[in-house]
């Protein structure tokens, strides 16, 4: 059984490839390399360079590699950019997903795993976000993920495809420095960038109704994200085709505030991480923390890594790309 991993040369996709191989799964990667890097892939893993909008390329990949399951991680994922370029995000994330799903169905592939996001929830006013919490996305990015879940589920019903959609919370860390996140779009690398430039980390709002006034989030190690994908693949493989339809959170179920995260980063890096407090950002909820009960029940999965391990592994990756960073601390 070969799994085609779209976006498999990206930050999360590369970790999924690694975890799948370690679990003894055969994989092929489909990626346009717009943000992914071919060097993330181990030697011997087939890489098909192409766009998820190119139906002929997807058809060839499914056929030539004998694909029996698809793991779709390819997507554009910058929230702010999605507000500025909604057409681009709907085309890449929804039209691209539709193209891959149509090819999957027509090829007779009956197992499909979709990478979704906690962005589908928007600003939930609850202590723990369950899969039953109403979805009200605040950005075109979140909208494409929610609509993507609907499309995956509908395609599964119509074509007898077993499906799982996994909603990621705040991803951090790296299994290996070579697989670390290149971007500076999330809190941890954003803080690293400020620190190594000799600047104080930014704190967007310190007057939220939380214990220390800063936003609280559920941070999850990217290796745990990858292991959740493996658990979902095992479930899809074991169940008869067309019988599974699941939507699951991937989180630790523990909230960490911005100030608490800055304290951890300070301990790991040796830098002074006293934050520079500014005004709130529009649309930032005070608290978004996952309930991880359903994924534990359905897949027997639970997170293994804590926040300090996430930060330490992310710092190793940052320093591998910025050799002066560690010495400057």
Give the CA distances from residue 31 to residues 9, 42, 51, 182, 188, in Å, rounded to whole numbers and listed in that order.
6, 15, 7, 16, 26
Alpha carbon distance 276, 302 (integer Å): 35
Task: Say how many C-beta atoms besides its own lie within 10 A of residue 228's C-beta.
Answer: 27
State the catalytic residue, choosing from 89, 141, 208, 305: 141
Alpha carbon distance 182, 192 (integer Å): 12
Do 76 and 92 form a contact (C-beta atoms < 8 A)?
Answer: yes
Half-sphere exposure of 58 (CA within 13 A, CB side): 25
Residues comprising the chain, all counted: 329
Do 280 and 258 form a contact (C-beta atoms < 8 A)?
Answer: no
Give the CA distances from residue 127 to residues 29, 166, 250, 282, in Å, rounded to whole numbers and listed in that order.
38, 20, 16, 20
- Indicate if 208 belongs to the active site: no
In degrees, rounded to 5, the angle at the alpha carbon of residue 106 between the alpha carbons of residues 141 and 48 is 65
Instruction: Give the residue numbers marked as catalytic.
Output: 141
């Amino acid at each position: 059984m070969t799994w085609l991993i779209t976006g498999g040369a990206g930050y999360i996709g590369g970790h999924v490839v690694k975890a799948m191989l370690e679990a003894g799964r055969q994989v092929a990667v489909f990626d346009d390399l717009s943000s992914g890097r071919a060097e993330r892939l181990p030697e011997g893993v087939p890489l098909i360079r192409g766009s998820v909008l190119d139906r002929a390329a997807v058809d060839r990949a499914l056929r030539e590699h004998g694909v029996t399951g698809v793991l779709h991680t390819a997507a554009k994922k910058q929230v702010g950019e999605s507000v500025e370029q909604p057409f681009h995000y709907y085309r890449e994330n929804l039209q691209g997903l539709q193209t891959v799903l149509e090819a999957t169905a027509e090829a007779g592939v009956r197992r499909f795993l979709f990478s979704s996001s906690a962005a589908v929830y928007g600003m939930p006013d609850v202590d723990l976000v369950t899969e039953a919490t109403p979805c009200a996305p605040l950005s075109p990015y979140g909208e494409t993920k929610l609509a993507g879940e609907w499309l995956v589920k509908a395609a599964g019903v119509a074509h007898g495809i077993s499906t799982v959609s996994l909603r990621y919370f705040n991803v951090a860390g790296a299994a290996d420095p070579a697989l670390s996140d290149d971007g500076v779009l999330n809190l941890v690398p954003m803080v690293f960038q400020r620190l190594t430039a000799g600047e104080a980390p930014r704190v967007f709002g310190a007057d939220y109704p939380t214990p220390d006034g800063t936003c609280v989030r559920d941070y999850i190690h990217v290796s745990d994200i990858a292991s959740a994908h493996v658990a979902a693949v095992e479930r899809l493989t074991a169940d008869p085709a067309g019988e599974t339809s699941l939507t699951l959170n991937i989180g630790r179920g523990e909230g960490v505030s911005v100030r608490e995260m800055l304290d951890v980063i300070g301990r790991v890096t040796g830098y002074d991480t006293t934050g520079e407090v500014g005004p709130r950002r529009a649309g930032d909820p005070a608290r978004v923390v996952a309930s991880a009960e359903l994924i534990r029940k359905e897949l027997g999965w639970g997170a293994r890594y804590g926040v300090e391990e996430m930060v330490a592994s992310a710092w190793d990756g940052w320093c591998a790309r910025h050799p002066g960073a560690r010495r400057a601390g």
